[in-house]
Amino acid sequence: MTFSHLLATLDLGFVTLKNRIMMGSMHSGLELLDRPFARLAAFYGERARGGAGLIVTGGYAPNDTGRIEDGGPIFHHADDIPSHRLITDRVHREGGKILLQILHTGRYAKDPSIVGVSDIRSRINPRVPRVLSSEEITQYVEDYANTAVLARSAGYDGVEVMGSEGYLINQFLARRTNNRGDDWGGSYENRMRFALEVVRRIRARVGADFILMYRISCIDLVEGGATGAETAELAQRLEAAGVSLFNTGVGWHEAHIPTIAYMVPRGAWRFAVRNITDHVKVPVVASNRINTPEVAEDIIAGGDAHMVSLARSMLADPEFAAKVQAGRPDTINTCIGCNQACLDFIFKGKPTRCLVNPRAGRELDGEEAPRRTGASRKVAVVGAGPGGLSAAVSAAQLGHQVTLYEAGTDIGGQMNLAKRVPDKTEFHELIRYYRTRLADLNIAVRLNTRATPEALKAAGFDAVVVATGIGPRTPNIEGIDHPMVIPYADLLAGRRQAGPRVAILGAGGIGYDAAMLLLHGHGDSAPDTATFLAKWGVDTSLRAPGGLLPGGPRFPAPAHQITLFQRKPGAMGRSLGLTSGWVLRAELEGSGVRCIPGVSYRKIDDAGLHYRLGDEDQVLAVDSVIICTGQEPLDELSTALGALSIPAHAIGGARQAAELDAFAAIAAGNEVAATL
């Protein structure tokens, strides 16, 4: 495939962008660490060097109440200009262009001084906002413009006004959050006033030759949100007020519909972006779940947008654009949409990392980048799951001679099971990435080979990385050998089928994966956009307010009658990802899956599963019992290697089964390579 649309320049009149690939704004959390601006300069600098046509910073508040919390990013004093200069100088040195995002969080702020358009609380924030006075609103317009002027002085190429995701500007626009009786509320004309005044004022203060991008909510996905016609009208009015290009946002943060996690099909929201593109003359940027150059090219070639925004995809691979330019899209480390180390970390108050890219968030020149400490060594890596693959690739990059052993028929380890879970097909990309890296780095791969200590000794390896992974934990339950019992790996791999009535023991990530597979069948093909949008009740005609069809989600009738058990009392699914677990819980609930916590398992026999709940013994008649009760490390090799005096480094699940988690395994593989 050629990428002529994606790689074309974009002329904004007073400035030309070198391609159509934008790194969208994301909260990095790097400001929580020491030397935040140096870290941010390195972070954005690496992405500029990697060829991004435009970069947008994380959100900076224009005044104190705009911050998400005390200590959050803010830019409203000239004193901060030299710090921001570190970022802009670095990006410009690398040949990039960068915008500062101006974000007022409004009623999403976690601070006690929270303000809002009206005194209406958000469902994701326990605090009721204090209502802004008319005078304060006028001052806020000035505050936005002040930050834009400061941004220009600090060397930014422009600003992005954050007008989506349910933040302050959205809160003015929507009836659900704006019941004011003055000039800032009531009619749509009045509700649009704040957004329009902010744009007009910024344009008046910064002049004509400064990029003013507005991130417009192309579909709100909340009740009482805008219709497509209202959004189109807003876009036209904003264009007339001075916007140079539109970025798009999808759904407020309080929406009940997933917008960016892995279960959202790639490019699913392009129909809503198109509504903006069709109504304005300035260029429009599409966003959300655009993670491959093929999808990006198709969106632009199809006329849905002029540019694409990749945020997490640039975290996963800073060289995304350069690799497309070089004709090597197969070498892109694709974002798999897991949210596990980026958004989930940010929501836990930690700086962002990335599951597939251990270097993300650690770019500060040279620091923590693995370096070879001694001579090139002959290294064996045993096990080609995520930890072993990461170790093999990282070690080879450092110049070691690497041989990778895998007992199975292919590389991938547990990822080969994960990719069969419905909606988790993105794991194919991670396997493809490693396959390409193994070939490019000339790593010797020995499939169908169980590496014995003696063979490793005879081959003369200087060091062995043991990444042999995990084996399923078999719980001590009477009747665990009953024919109705199915280990999760057999179910996920398709080696065994479950009957109509199913009990799942264990409600960790794999218990939920097993339930999803039973509901939807094996996920051998990528999720389908039309099915996804219909299931979640999205109005693709954009006539309904917020783009929501009446009646909410429409989950299909389940193929199995499923009951999910756990021994712990209390809510189920607590170990799932913060920003994706709620989707699974909602889907299971909507599909009638029963969840029973606080049980003890007694036995399994022809009558079904016998368990105790409180003081009562119960029997659930089932046809199949799926065992998802965790894992145990598989590491006999390290001990045997130690006896032969070969240095062995156990990583990932082999070291600690809890590290079956792919993020930890890939990070450990990367780190161990630096110690060889």
Task: Work out what residue 651 binds among ligand SF4, ligand NAP, none; the CB cut-off runs from 5 to 8 Å by kind.
Answer: none
Residues with Cβ within 8 Å of 341's Cβ and at least 6 positions away in sequence, in order, are 352, 353, 354, 355, 360, 663
User: For residues 361 and 653, which CB has a smaller minimum distance to ligand SF4 in the complex?
Assistant: 361
Task: Work out what residue 237 binds among ligand SF4, ligand NAP, none; the CB cut-off runs from 5 to 8 Å by kind.
Answer: none
Among 100, 173, 238, 355, binds ligand SF4 (CB under 6 A): 355
Question: 27 to each of 56, 166, 481, 569, how far by Cα in Å?
Answer: 11, 16, 49, 35
Task: Work out what residue 346 binds among ligand NAP, ligand SF4, none; the CB cut-off runs from 5 to 8 Å by kind.
Answer: none
Q: Name the minimum Å distance from CB 592 to ligand NAP.
A: 21
User: For residues 12 and 316, which CB has a smaller minimum distance to ligand SF4 in the complex?
Assistant: 316
Q: Name the minimum Å distance from CB 601 to ligand NAP.
A: 6
Task: Please say whether the beta carbons of 313 and 42 come within 8 A.
Answer: no
Among 61, 232, 255, 336, binds ligand SF4 (CB under 6 A): 336
User: For residues 338 and 519, which CB has a smaller minimum distance to ligand SF4 in the complex?
Assistant: 338
Q: Name the minimum Å distance from CB 520 to ligand SF4.
A: 21
Q: How far apart are the first and last CA of the chain?
A: 40
Among 159, 284, 305, 316, binds ligand SF4 (CB under 6 A): 316
Number of residues that bind ligand NAP (CB under 6 A): 23
Q: Does 633 bind ligand NAP (CB under 6 A)?
A: no
Number of Cβ within 10 Å of residue 186's Cβ equals 14
Between CA 175 and CA 120 the distance in angstroms is 11
Beta-bridge mates of residue 98:
55
- DSSP states along 342-389: THHHHHTT-----SS-TTTT--STTTT-----SS--EEEEE--SHHHH
Q: Does 628 bind ligand NAP (CB under 6 A)?
A: yes
Bridge pairing between strands 115-116 and 130-131: parallel
Between CA 116 and CA 185 the distance in angstroms is 12
Q: Name the minimum Å distance from CB 593 to ligand NAP.
A: 15
φ/ψ of residue 98, rounded to 5: -140, 140
Long-range contacts at 452-461 (CB < 8 A, ≥ 24 apart): 453/637, 453/640, 453/641, 453/643, 453/644, 453/646, 454/644, 456/380, 456/382, 456/641, 456/646, 457/644, 457/646, 459/378, 459/380, 459/403, 460/378, 461/378, 461/379, 461/380, 461/403, 461/646
Q: Name the minimum Å distance from CB 553 to ligand SF4.
A: 23
Task: Work out what residue 354 binds among ligand NAP, ligand SF4, none; the CB cut-off runs from 5 to 8 Å by kind.
Answer: ligand SF4
Indicate if 434 belongs to the active site: no
Task: Please say whether the beta carbons of 547 and 519 come within 8 A.
Answer: no
Residue 229 corresponds to which amino acid? A
Q: Name the minimum Å distance from CB 261 to ligand SF4.
A: 8
Q: 3-class DSSP state for residue 463?
A: strand
Q: How many CA within 13 A on the CB side of residue 86?
A: 13
Q: Does 41 bind ligand SF4 (CB under 6 A)?
A: no
Task: Work out what residue 339 binds among ligand SF4, ligand NAP, none; the CB cut-off runs from 5 to 8 Å by kind.
Answer: ligand SF4
Residues for the chain: how many in total? 676
Return the range that interacts with ligand NAP (CB under 6 A); candidates 151-159, 237-245, 521-529, 572-580. Answer: 572-580
Q: Does 338 bind ligand SF4 (CB under 6 A)?
A: yes
String marking each residue 356-385 x if it binds ligand SF4 according to CB under 6 A = x-----------------------------
Task: Please say whether the beta carbons of 470 and 654 come within 8 A.
Answer: yes
Return the range that interacts with ligand NAP (CB under 6 A); candidates 153-161, 192-200, 301-309, 568-576. Answer: 568-576
Number of residues that bind ligand SF4 (CB under 6 A): 14
Return the range that interacts with ligand SF4 (CB under 6 A); candidates 320-328, 353-361, 473-481, 638-646. Answer: 353-361
Q: Does 575 bind ligand NAP (CB under 6 A)?
A: yes
Task: Please say whether the beta carbons of 299 and 305 come within 8 A.
Answer: yes
String marking each residue 258-297 x if it binds ligand SF4 according to CB under 6 A = ----------------------------------------
Q: 3-class DSSP state for residue 660?
A: helix
Alpha carbon 383 to its chain centroid, in Å, reads: 27
Between CA 290 and CA 22 the distance in angstroms is 11
Residues with Cβ within 8 Å of 74's Cβ and at least 6 positions away in sequence, in order, are 60, 61, 62, 63, 64, 66, 67
Q: Name the minimum Å distance from CB 24 to ligand SF4.
A: 12
Tell the residue number behind the tokens 């809160």, with chain if given.
171
Task: Work out what residue 342 binds among ligand NAP, ligand SF4, none; the CB cut-off runs from 5 to 8 Å by kind.
Answer: ligand SF4
Q: What is the 3-state secondary structure (H, E, C) of 269-298?
A: CHHHHHHHHCCCCCCEEECCCCCCHHHHHH
Q: Does 625 bind ligand SF4 (CB under 6 A)?
A: no
Active-site residue, from 60, 144, 156, 167: 167
SS3 content of the chain, % helix, strand, coil (to 5): 35, 20, 50
Q: What angle do CA 196, 202, 208 make, to 5 degrees?
A: 110
CA proximity to 627, closest of 509, 475, 419, 482? 475
Q: Does 346 bind ligand SF4 (CB under 6 A)?
A: no
Among 127, 237, 567, 610, binds ligand NAP (CB under 6 A): 567
Q: Does 390 bind ligand NAP (CB under 6 A)?
A: no
Among 36, 553, 590, 630, binds ligand NAP (CB under 6 A): 630
Bridge pairing between strands 608-613 and 616-620: antiparallel
Task: Work out what residue 157 binds among ligand NAP, ligand SF4, none; the CB cut-off runs from 5 to 8 Å by kind.
Answer: none
Task: Work out what residue 12 binds among ligand SF4, ligand NAP, none; the CB cut-off runs from 5 to 8 Å by kind.
Answer: none
Q: Name the minimum Å distance from CB 434 to ligand SF4.
A: 14
Among 30, 211, 299, 341, binds ligand SF4 (CB under 6 A): 341
Return the range that interacts with ligand NAP (CB under 6 A); candidates 83-91, 134-142, 530-538, 564-572. Answer: 564-572
User: For residues 118 and 339, which CB has a smaller minimum distance to ligand SF4 in the complex?
Assistant: 339
Please report, as residue ranges, which positions from 489 to 548 form the binding site for ligand NAP (by CB under 6 A).
505-511, 513
Helices (H), 441-499: 453-458, 488-493
User: For residues 27 and 655, which CB has a smaller minimum distance to ligand SF4 in the complex?
Assistant: 27
Q: Does 340 bind ligand SF4 (CB under 6 A)?
A: yes
Task: Work out what residue 146 binds among ligand SF4, ligand NAP, none; the CB cut-off runs from 5 to 8 Å by kind.
Answer: none
Q: Name the minimum Å distance from CB 314 to ligand NAP.
A: 22
Tokens at 62, concatenated: 């224009």
Return the range that interacts with ligand NAP (CB under 6 A); candidates 131-139, 196-204, 221-229, 570-578. Answer: 570-578
Return the range that interacts with ligand NAP (CB under 6 A); candidates 40-48, 154-162, 310-318, 625-633. Answer: 625-633
Residues annotated as catalytic are: 167
Q: Which residues bind ligand NAP (CB under 6 A)?
A: 473, 475, 505-511, 513, 566-568, 575-577, 628-631, 658, 660-661
Q: Which residues bind ligand SF4 (CB under 6 A)?
A: 312, 315-316, 335-342, 354-356
